[in-house]
Chains A and B, each alone.
Chain A
Amino acid sequence: MRFIPALALAAAVLLSGAGVVSAQENLESLRGKAPINQEVRTDNMFRPEKDQDIIPRNFQKQPPLIPHSIKGYNITQNFNKCMDCHSKERAEETGATLVAKSHYLDREDKKHTNISPRRYFCMQCHVPQFDAKPLVENTYKPAAK
């Protein structure tokens, strides 16, 4: 009597195991069924979109998207290419969007005269646009203002 639940459990484990196996068979990664040690040739490489005007935000406080090509723009220990135009010292001359005030706050919300180092890597939040279509269809709609 005592091992009936144990039997049921074992059966459940077996069944779920079988389920996992079948799911694995159906699963296909983006590189198809190619073995791991082989290269897959993709003819549909994504291309950066042409320079455009400011892209409207989709929701409040969304980090603005980068509406231009950033090919060859490096952020190194020595130099941040983005800040060559977007810093407050340069923005007026270059006509670039100014770095937001929030970027001068440190993690204790204290304001500094310099940009906070935690904002150094611009592309953690701001991303350029490519002609890639969504992999999965979705019904997302920008929040109304």
Chain B
Amino acid sequence: MMSLEKYMPAWVKRIGLVTVFLLFAAGIVFWGGFNWALEETNKEEFCISCHEMKENVFKEYQNTVHYTNRTGVRATCPDCHVPKEWGPKMVRKIQASNEVFHKILGTIDTPEKFNAKRAQLAQNEWNRMKANDSKECRNCHRYDYMDYTEQGNRAAKQHPQAFVEGKTCIDCHKGIAHQLPAIDQHIGARNEGAASISHGEKPAEKSAEEKK
């Protein structure tokens, strides 16, 4: 025992070997618990435990390819809306406290209220995905590995073109999992004055041509 004490740092001697082991075990338990709680709040079931999500966006998502498809490989809420990497994930989780705050306030607790806010909420997500180059899409859809011969005519034509122009997924693929807010599409008086949807910036030469 005396020989072991020779190798122990001073602080271990001060608090004792047993305490050190107990602290170590407690660390594992607390970190595991933290991670467990984090993962619990990162599940589809957790997201739709709020009726705001279940009655609006989840219902819309159920009609889309990310909910049900040929092979049953799914992208659930956190796959698109929470970053996978630890750092950005923590940032997003802390930002989510604002969402908890508005849940308590009942900001979007009816479909009418939700739809009134839809444009703003959608724009938030579009901005986030635009800023991180559609990182969450690219966790699965990597364009370096896309086989254009397997894609439909239209996709095979548009994808290489868009990537050359430096566009990101969300530039074109808006409203693929949820319904879009009102967009002015020049059809009668419908949605006149509503936001027009952005399809990403046009390449510089083309916009210069248009000015002529």
Which residues of A are interface residues toward B (Cβ below 8 A)? 50-53, 68-69, 71-72, 74, 76-80, 83-84, 87-90, 93-95, 112-117, 119-120
Contacts and interface: CB of A to CB of B under 8 A. Distances in A.
Interface in B11-65: 63-65
Given A76-B180, A93-B199, A83 B187 contact: yes
A69 B187 contact: no
B123 interface: no
Interface residues of B, number: 27
B188 A115 contact: yes
B183 A95 contact: no
Contact of A79 (B153, B154, B158, B182): B182
The B contact surface, by secondary structure, is loop
A113 B63 CA distance: 34
Contact of B180 (A78, A95, A114, A115): A78
Contacts of A93: 199, 202
Interface stretch (B86-94, B105-113, B189-197): B189-197
Given A83-B187, A116-B188, A117-B187, A51 B199 contact: no
A68 B179 CA distance: 22
6 contacts: A52-B153, A72-B65, A74-B63, A78-B181, A79-B183, A120-B187
A78 B191 contact: yes
B9 to A, nearest CB: 62
A115 B187 CA distance: 4
B130 to A, nearest CB: 18
Contacts of A80: 185, 187
A49 B176 CA distance: 21
A117 B176 contact: no
Contacts of A50: 152
A79 B185 CA distance: 8
B158 A94 contact: yes
Contact of A117 (B65, B153, B188, B197): B188
A51 B154 CA distance: 8
B157 interface: yes
Contacts of B202: 93
Contacts of B179: 74, 76, 78-79
3 closest residue pairs by CB, A with B: A117-B188, A79-B180, A51-B152
